[in-house]
Structure 1
């Protein structure tokens, strides 16, 4: 089983932001425990007595908001980099899938719908490639609870029955699941990945993106894991 943990960065409704990003990280099920433990070690630096009270969340960490306010900026930025490095240094089967959308360029289409269609179909295509290589796996997409839950659930059901632009989803075992990010380090890591990609496109800041840039799904020199609608 491959688990795609996904989250967004940027607001689909904010006119002051150019881009919307939906990103996910695919983990083979036996990789998740190790990744979570490594992320716990990073959180432990900030509250050793209660590490579960520390949520690794890109925008608050960068801006020093909420629980991150007491900590020096350089420590917060280093924690983001270290968390992304956990992914960068992990097993090669752990892959990023993401869609970056210039909202004005796709208007009046809904960027959330467009991004999810790309994310789901590319993950499904990856699982299909594994099957062709005699490694048959099913997949589940796991999202942070968000205002897009109803939209995404409906889309996923339609994709499995009526189809999407390129066919139907054949390799997903269930409609997307939704978790509270506070309970999942892997959702938190997906948030950091989405944030790194958003800052790269929105702010031309590659300090985080450069750490994970080679972890997008690719095969034969073709990068399947990144969709750009710019």
Structure 2
């Protein structure tokens, strides 16, 4: 059996690690069996038709009432998000993600490298998160005795080059042994992929949930909303315990500075 990991990110500010509005970066997505791909795609198409959506769905546009969602009521927007997230529950799709608290990421580089070295390295959180997503996905495939492919939005192709993983050796990351993932850099246009759009919805709301731990001035109503959406998909998250003794940077990412 072959599986696809549809991958997207949320909270990406590149090398700007001081954006108070985006203190957290998440990279992740949903794992889909090739046998169920068509059915899931049709489910999303049906939801789009129900809500008369012809364009690409962006989670942030729903939340901020942009584009076609400008005149939508809160109830209507919430119902759309719930229906999309419930596809993940209905088909028992695994969710894989890795989160980077940007202030911790910055602290690691400031502690281990000089200012001149940091200017040369320029490693965005995406690169590190990508390496961990691969490791988590690899273990998931081992559990399922499957092979897999990673499918990303083509706009990320300039971030992920084939030599990406070599860069990580500079920051003492061990070599990543990948056997089950047969294609790591397959890119498609998110406008043409309902599954990338589903990943976008999923990852965005994971980010909104964990953001509550590191972002100030979030209203009680917003917290309630964030928790509501995360609880829908919480049991679908695939958890892999990573060993900080094998990955020095994890000690920094897990601490509160």
Name the TM-score, length of structure 1 as normaliser: 0.82
- Compared with structure 1, are the counterparts of its residues 38 and 89 closer, same or farther at alpha carbon in structure 2 (3 Å cutoff)? same
Partner-residue secondary structure (3-state), 1:174: strand
Unmatched 5+ residue regions in structure 1? Answer: 132-136, 218-222
Does residue 78 of structure 1 match 2:79? yes
Superposed CA RMSD in Å reads 2.4
Distance in structure 1 (CA, Å) of the matches to 2:163 and 2:104: 22
Does residue 167 of structure 1 match 2:176? yes
Distance in structure 1 (CA, Å) of the matches to 2:36 and 2:165: 28
| Structure 1 counterpart of 2:120 | none
1:95-131 per-residue CA deviation (whole Å, 9 max, x = no partner) reads 1100111011012363111110110111112212333
Q: Which runs of 4+ in 1 moved over 6 A?
A: 225-228
Distance in structure 2 (CA, Å) of the matches to 1:226 and 1:77: 34
Partner-residue secondary structure (3-state), 1:42: helix
| Structure 2 counterpart of 1:134 | none
Distance in structure 2 (CA, Å) of the matches to 1:225 and 1:43: 37
Does residue 224 of structure 1 match 2:240? yes
Q: Using the TM superposition, give the Cα deviation of residue 225 of structure 1 relative to its aligned residue in structure 2, in angstroms.
A: 8.3
- Compared with structure 1, are the counterparts of its residues 178 and 68 closer, same or farther at alpha carbon in structure 2 (3 Å cutoff)? same
Equivalent pairs counted in the alignment come to: 209
Distance in structure 2 (CA, Å) of the matches to 1:33 and 1:193: 19
1:126-169 per-residue CA deviation (whole Å, 9 max, x = no partner) reads 212333xxxxx2211001122x323323356759xxxx625321
Name the TM-score, length of structure 2 as normaliser: 0.74
Q: Using the TM superposition, give the Cα deviation of residue 181 of structure 1 relative to its aligned residue in structure 2, in angstroms.
A: 1.2
Q: Is residue 151–residue 184 contact of structure 2 (8 Å, CA) maintained in 1? A: no
| Structure 2 counterpart of 1:149 | 157
Q: Is residue 11–residue 207 contact of structure 2 (8 Å, CA) maintained in 1? A: yes
Q: Is residue 46–residue 54 contact of structure 1 (8 Å, CA) maintained in 2? A: no
Distance in structure 1 (CA, Å) of the matches to 2:56 and 2:151: 17
- Compared with structure 1, are the counterparts of its residues 206 and 60 closer, same or farther at alpha carbon in structure 2 (3 Å cutoff)? same
Unmatched 5+ residue regions in structure 2? Answer: 110-122, 168-172, 213-222, 244-249
Distance in structure 2 (CA, Å) of the matches to 1:177 and 1:20: 22
